[in-house]
Chain A
């Protein structure tokens, strides 16, 4: 385990036959939403792998899928995680794609809002439209 000077903790293990790389943001759950941010944690889950750091969403996903990676993104009250599972030899090569800084393209945000509203409506009958 290593913690970098700027606060990112890295933990690895050697035994798995495939490599999963998971980046978890412990404060990105809905329990950390401000009064005017209700629903932001759920919507942000749909911004995983979207455009950022000068890369389009298509390029990010294509690079990951080109090495056979299976992508996942999760969130809840307690945090948010974005990651992938790939062959061991490919994992370190594409891992930096997890840290792209979202550029909030308007079409990405609009799609995230729409998908989040649909999911919320399915789970919570009080918000069904």
Chain B
């Protein structure tokens, strides 16, 4: 968790809204209230409900019982943080070394998930960024610099598709989250719709996303015993 936070700090700048940790203390009462009043608005929100026999009756209930926003009110404005790439190093004397390397990721969530599986077991994907993490820098570099072949992309598509469909099968709550995700990412939440959305990802799309990833500026996060972790410019030269 802490390493991922540092990767975001490196990618977007520690003072930006996306680079700052979600786990930040010290929020004032007025800021908590202003944030809630600005962002917890039904305009733009998604209400997902599983096990509902009658959709129309459920919608009528919402229309009657949920407080409608003031007419003409707009969804909460979205603050943007620009990907800049960079470095975050935290020495904590723990004796362990944790290193994460990240790049700007593709905008398509489906292509992002497939590319993540191309990069191997230690890969991660978060909105806007994709990368790998572990304690071994050489292994991370190899995972990044090995261009995915057609076979690897086919396997990655299958793994990403299975992972997405499995989420539908983990119970009512997991399904509700998948339904919400389907609305926010403009795709279906049925097994068929999810499968089709991954089947539609082409080898060219993944290859193009991989090339674009490597062309973006490296984000490096190192936490723990970092005395032997090279600095950003040295590691970045491996990917040029």
Give residues in A with beta carbon < 8 Å to B: 1-2, 4, 6-34, 36-44, 47, 53, 72, 75-78, 80-81, 83, 85, 88, 91-92, 95-96, 98-99, 101-102, 104, 106, 109-110, 112-113, 116-117, 119-121, 123-127
Contact = CB atoms under 8 A, between A and B. Distances in A.
Interface string B39-57: 1111111111111110101
Contacts, number: 280
A11 B40 contact: no
Q: Which of A13, A120, A121 has the largest number of chain B CB atoms within 10 A?
A: A13
A70 B79 CA distance: 33
Interface string B209-235: 000000000000000000000000000
A120 B1 CA distance: 11
Q: Which of B33, B39, B43 has the largest number of chain A CB atoms within 10 A?
A: B39
Q: Which of B25, B58, B77 has the largest number of chain A CB atoms within 10 A?
A: B25
Size bin of chain B's contact surface: 35 or more
A47 to B, nearest CB: 7
Contacts of A95: 47, 49, 58, 61-62, 65
10 interchain residue pairs of minimum CB distance: A39-B27, A7-B43, A19-B51, A40-B35, A27-B76, A96-B65, A16-B51, A39-B24, A16-B50, A120-B25
A104 B36 CA distance: 10
B20 interface: yes
Contacts of B62: 4, 8, 10, 95-96
B239 interface: no
Contacts of A15: 50-51
A117 B69 CA distance: 31
30 contacts: A7-B43, A7-B44, A8-B42, A9-B183, A10-B55, A11-B47, A11-B179, A12-B52, A16-B172, A22-B177, A23-B47, A27-B44, A28-B40, A30-B21, A30-B24, A34-B79, A37-B31, A39-B25, A39-B26, A40-B36, A43-B27, A75-B22, A76-B22, A95-B61, A96-B61, A96-B66, A99-B42, A120-B25, A125-B2, A127-B26
A9 B27 contact: no
A75 to B, nearest CB: 7
B76 A32 contact: yes
A55 to B, nearest CB: 12
A78 B129 CA distance: 13
Contacts of A124: 2, 5, 21, 23-25
A98 B22 CA distance: 23
A31 B79 contact: yes
Q: Which of A11, A17, A72 has the largest number of chain B CB atoms within 10 A?
A: A11
Contacts of B81: 31
